[in-house]
Amino acid sequence: MSPDGMYYQVEFTYDKKENVNRVKYYDADGDLVLNAKGYAIVYREYDAYNRVIYERFAGTGMEDPKLEDGAFSYRYEYDEHGELLKKTAYDWMDKEIE
């Protein structure tokens, strides 16, 4: 994290449906920096209804992401009405965190 706990630039990448599928956080020098939630990069995948079904987090390359629950990724499941049924956390080896 930057010395004052802030990031200075955010870069967004979009998929063909204009969903944000990657976000990167940078410090004032243009280096990746952990944001307040503990990651420098998040990658997202969406279903046909534009709902996030997978998120993977990365650190800066020098440090791992530091999410509160220790997760490196999440998978999301929805019911037929689009309500979130389940959010499952996974560690860096893609094993479910219980």
DSSP string, 25-83: EE-TTS-B---TTS-SEEEEEE-TTS-EEEEEEE--SSS----TT--SEEEEEE-TTS-
User: CA 90 to CA 71: how far, in whole Å?
Assistant: 5
Reported as a single tens digit per residue, the pLDDT across 33-69 is: 999 899 999 999 999 999 999 999 999 998 899 998 9
| Distance between CA atoms of residues 34 and 39, nearest Å | 5
Q: Is 0.85 topped by the overall pTM?
A: yes
Express each pLDDT in 72-83 by its tens digit: 999 999 999 999
Q: Looking at the DSSP assignment, which residues form a beta bridge with residue 93?
A: none
